[in-house]
């Protein structure tokens, strides 16, 4: 119902914009100019579709963190990519999604300093051309040496 | 006799009969669907001229409809429009019933989107949806193609989306048994799923396409979308030259924004079709560029692909006329006036390469009337079939 959303926005002085024809009007604007969006709230199915669309826009599920929040502060944070059994145990998996999910967890716990450090190190490492990410999207795998990435991140943290 | 009486043999016989009956039924059903159709009924034709229902709709619809009429007159297209206005503010269904009757009479229509007033009670149904379901316009087809002169992140996109138009989540069956708990019924039927799948494969075959992808969420809605998927697989078996695969809708949107060139023809139920076709429209440059068509057994209605009223830019002469004009070309093709359709389409595509004429949705400062004038100039310079003013 739009009423709780509207009353929440008036309390917090947050701009609330309802896409009455959501999700169709939302998706083509999302594809053309995703920067116009900030926080999106929606029911289950639309969320499933739109969250994967947004993940595709930023580089895929290999770099997308997520969390499931419940009542009384109960929360589970997880990466949403596949299990990739063909590269399991080979030091090839991209740790970004799970690491950023862990950063979300730290923020949820109020440990913002630690979260900021790890997030900055992670972003710097991705930007770092020495650690090459060979990526294919959508159910495909990121190939990267986890060990070398971890070492680079560790150095960035310290 | 004794062998048949044996319970094990009886069970085996029953299983064998069931399996062969299933195959027989599948074969018959596919054949029935193939013969049933999408036979387009011949449109009205008097004195060599066609009469087409024109529903201007709301927002930018009326001004774009005016430009279509102007362009057709300029090109001497043998089409007369019967204009039927539908007032979206009224709760009475008289207007939409008049429109439906006009389309039944003429067989074909060009339509702007009719605003759905959300302040009216839930019993007030969307006029657009009413039109589609009453006329059984079961296939919504949108062809999203990268256009020359339009800068987009991805190039070489050529996707046909075929969306089931009459059931699914748009069945308008909702109820609130307990206050604060609403149930909404999503209807998926075998008949309509087979019908849309058959339409998709026949379209792919006619247009020389290689792959059909069914979009679903059968991992969660295993009965509903599972049935849809099963029907698609059944129809696919009758088209061995076409590759069939399926993809879950959330993965589909992700794949579309990362590698859209992998898709060819996509077939899906109603809601996913809404989302996926809008994603495709966004990928090729936005709602101002992509035309749409709604086909039924006896009627066809053409409109912009993303079905927006464009209320915020109405009457400012800034709307992109491309989608509506390309929809009118689809209309001309449907009426077998291919010469006029190609001439107008060619002029539109040559105009769109000039970025000076791009309207605001493409990042330009051009106006609607300038674009339409440029299209008419291009047609004028291409030779006969135009009226000199």
Taking each helix axis from N to C terminus, what angle separates B224-236 and B7-36, rounded to the nearest 10 degrees?
Answer: 80
pLDDT of residue A151: 62
Subunit contact A139:B259, Cβ cutoff 8 A: no
pLDDT confidence of B294, banded at 50, 70, 90?
very high
pLDDT of residue B311: 85
Cβ atoms B46, B78 nearer than 8 A: no
> CB burial class (10 A; 0-12, 13-18, 19+) of residue B256?
buried
How far apart CA B109 and CA B82 sit, in angstroms, is: 9
Give the number of other Cβ atoms within 10 Å of residue A54's Cβ: 17
Subunit contact A52:B306, Cβ cutoff 8 A: no
State how far Cα B351 lies from the chain centre: 25
State how far Cα B327 lies from the chain centre: 11
The residue length of chain B stands at 389
Subunit contact A60:B258, Cβ cutoff 8 A: yes
Q: Closest approach of chain B CAs to the CA of A52, in angstroms?
A: 5
Q: Which residues pair with B294 in a beta bridge?
A: B140, B301
Subunit contact B253:A49, Cβ cutoff 8 A: yes
Structure tokens given for B250: 């959330």
Q: Using alpha carbons, select from B305, B285, B295 the residue that is nearest to residue B359.
A: B285
pLDDT of residue A129: 58
Structure tokens given for B264: 């060819």
Q: Using alpha carbons, select from B287, B286, B276, B23 the residue that is nearest to residue B162.
A: B276
- Asked if residue B342 has pLDDT above 50, the reply is yes
Subunit contact A52:B251, Cβ cutoff 8 A: yes
pLDDT of residue B303: 96
How far apart CA B304 and CA A24 sit, in angstroms, is: 14
Q: What is the pLDDT along chain A (158 residues), one digit of tens a residue?
A: 344 555 555 554 556 666 544 567 788 889 988 998 988 889 999 999 999 999 999 988 889 999 999 998 899 999 988 888 888 888 888 889 999 999 999 999 999 999 999 999 999 888 875 555 544 333 333 334 445 555 655 665 55
Give the number of other Cβ atoms within 10 Å of residue B5's Cβ: 8
pLDDT of residue B178: 93
Strands B45-46 and A65-69: unpaired
Give the number of other Cβ atoms within 10 Å of residue B190's Cβ: 13
The pLDDT tens digits of the residues spanning B68-93 come to 999 999 999 999 999 999 988 888 88
Omega prior to B301 cis, within 30 of 0: no
Q: Closest approach of chain B CAs to the CA of A50, in angstroms?
A: 7
Find, in chain A, the residue whose alpha carbon is nearest to that of B361: A32
How far apart CA A134 and CA A143 sit, in angstroms, is: 5
The pLDDT tens digits of the residues spanning B23-34 come to 444 443 333 333
Q: What angle do CA B163, B247, B132 make, to 5 degrees?
A: 10
Cβ atoms B188, B228 nearer than 8 A: yes
**Which tops the pLDDT comparison, B41 or B353?**
B353
Instruction: Show me where the domains of chain A are located.
Output: 1-58, 65-157
pLDDT of residue B199: 97
**Largest interatomic CA distance in chain A:** 52
Q: What 3-state class would DSSP assign to A79?
A: strand
The pLDDT tens digits of the residues spanning B310-330 come to 888 899 999 999 999 999 999
Q: Using alpha carbons, select from B378, B374, B305, B309 the residue that is nearest to residue B346.
A: B378
pLDDT confidence of B154, banded at 50, 70, 90?
very high
How far apart CA B257 and CA A27 sit, in angstroms, is: 11
The pLDDT tens digits of the residues spanning B257-281 come to 999 999 999 999 999 999 999 999 9
pLDDT of residue B1: 43
Residue A56: CA atoms inside 13 Å, Cβ hemisphere, count? Answer: 25
Cβ atoms A87, A93 nearer than 8 A: yes
Tell me which of A22, A52, A55 to substitute to probe the interface with B (most B C-beta atoms closer than 10 Å): A52
pLDDT of residue B372: 96
Per-residue pLDDT, averaged over B286-292, amounts to 94
Residues of A in contact with B259 (CB under 8 A): 137-138
**Largest interatomic CA distance in chain B:** 92
Which value does ipTM take for this structure? 0.79
Find, in chain B, the residue whose alpha carbon is nearest to that of A33: B282
Alpha helices in chain B (DSSP H): 2-5, 7-36, 61-74, 94-106, 127-134, 190-206, 224-236, 249-258, 270-284, 322-334, 338-352, 368-382
Whose tokens are 């109603």? That residue is B270
Q: Using alpha carbons, select from A55, A104, A57 the residue that is nearest to residue A80.
A: A55
Subunit contact A137:B258, Cβ cutoff 8 A: yes
**CA distance readout (Å), A110 to A104, A117, B180, B277:** 10, 14, 34, 42
Strands B265-268 and B158-164: parallel
Give the number of other Cβ atoms within 10 Å of residue A45's Cβ: 19
Q: What 3-state class would DSSP assign to B355?
A: helix
> CB burial class (10 A; 0-12, 13-18, 19+) of residue B177?
exposed
Structure tokens given for B380: 């004028």
Mean pLDDT of chain B: 88
> Mind listing the domains of chain B with CATH numbers?
44-116+125-141+287-383 (3.40.718.10), 153-284 (3.40.718.10)
How far apart CA B319 and CA B301 sit, in angstroms, is: 21
């Amino acid at each position: 119902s739009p009423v709780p959303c509207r009353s929440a926005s008036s309390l917090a002085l947050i701009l609330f914009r309802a896409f009455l024809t959501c999700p169709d009007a939302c998706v083509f604007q999302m594809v053309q100019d995703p920067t116009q969006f900030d926080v999106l709230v929606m029911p289950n199915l639309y969320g499933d579709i739109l969250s994967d669309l947004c993940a595709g826009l930023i580089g895929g599920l290999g770099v997308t963190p997520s969390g499931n929040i419940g009542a009384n502060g109960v929360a589970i944070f997880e990466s949403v990519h596949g299990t990739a059994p063909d590269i399991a145990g080979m030091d090839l998996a991209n740790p970004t999604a799970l690491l950023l999910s862990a950063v979300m967890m730290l923020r949820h716990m109020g440990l913002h300093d630690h979260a900021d450090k790890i997030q900055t190190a992670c972003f710097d490492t991705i930007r770092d051309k020495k650690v090459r990410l060979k990526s294919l999207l959508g159910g495909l795998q990121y190939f990267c040496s986890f060990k070398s990435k971890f070492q680079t991140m560790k150095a960035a943290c310290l | 006799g004794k062998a048949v009486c044996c319970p094990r043999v009886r069970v085996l016989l029953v299983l064998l009969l069931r399996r062969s009956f299933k195959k027989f039924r599948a074969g018959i059903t596919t054949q029935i669907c193939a013969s049933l159709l999408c036979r387009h009924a011949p449109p009205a034709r008097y004195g060599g001229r066609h009469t087409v229902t024109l529903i201007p709709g709301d927002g930018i619809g009326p001004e774009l409809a005016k430009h279509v009429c102007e362009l057709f007159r300029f090109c001497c297209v043998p089409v007369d429009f019967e204009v039927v206005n539908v007032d979206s503010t009224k709760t009475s269904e008289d207007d939409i019933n008049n429109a439906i009757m006009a389309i039944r009479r003429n067989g074909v229509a060009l339509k702007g989107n009719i605003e759905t007033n959300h302040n009216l009670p839930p019993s007030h149904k969307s006029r657009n949806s009413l039109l589609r379901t009453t006329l059984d316009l079961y296939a919504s087809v949108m062809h999203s193609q990268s256009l020359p002169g339009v800068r987009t992140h991805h190039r070489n996109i050529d996707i046909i989306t075929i969306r089931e138009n009459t059931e699914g989540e748009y069945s308008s069956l909702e109820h609130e048994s307990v206050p604060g708990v609403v149930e909404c019924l999503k209807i998926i039927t075998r008949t309509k799923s087979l019908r849309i799948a058959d339409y998709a494969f026949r379209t792919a075959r006619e247009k020389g396409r290689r792959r059909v992808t069914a979009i679903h969420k059968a991992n969660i809605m295993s009965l509903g979308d599972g049935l849809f998927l099963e029907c698609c697989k059944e129809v696919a078996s009758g088209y061995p030259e076409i590759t069939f695969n399926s993809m879950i809708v959330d993965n589909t949107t992700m794949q579309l924004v990362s590698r859209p060139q992998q898709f060819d023809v996509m077939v899906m139920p109603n809601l996913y079709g809404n989302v996926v076709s809008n994603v495709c429209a966004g990928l090729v440059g936005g709602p101002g560029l992509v035309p749409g068509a709604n086909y039924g057994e006896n009627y066809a209605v053409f409109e912009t692909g993303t079905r927006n009223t464009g209320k915020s830019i109405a009457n400012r002469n800034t709307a992109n006329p491309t989608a509506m004009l390309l929809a009118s070309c689809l209309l001309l093709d449907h009426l077998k006036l291919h010469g006029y359709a190609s001439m107008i389409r060619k002029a539109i595509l040559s105009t769109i390469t000039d970025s000076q004429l791009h309207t605001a949705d493409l990042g330009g400062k051009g106006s609607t009337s300038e674009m339409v004038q440029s299209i008419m100039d291009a047609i004028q310079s291409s030779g006969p079939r135009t009226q000199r003013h």
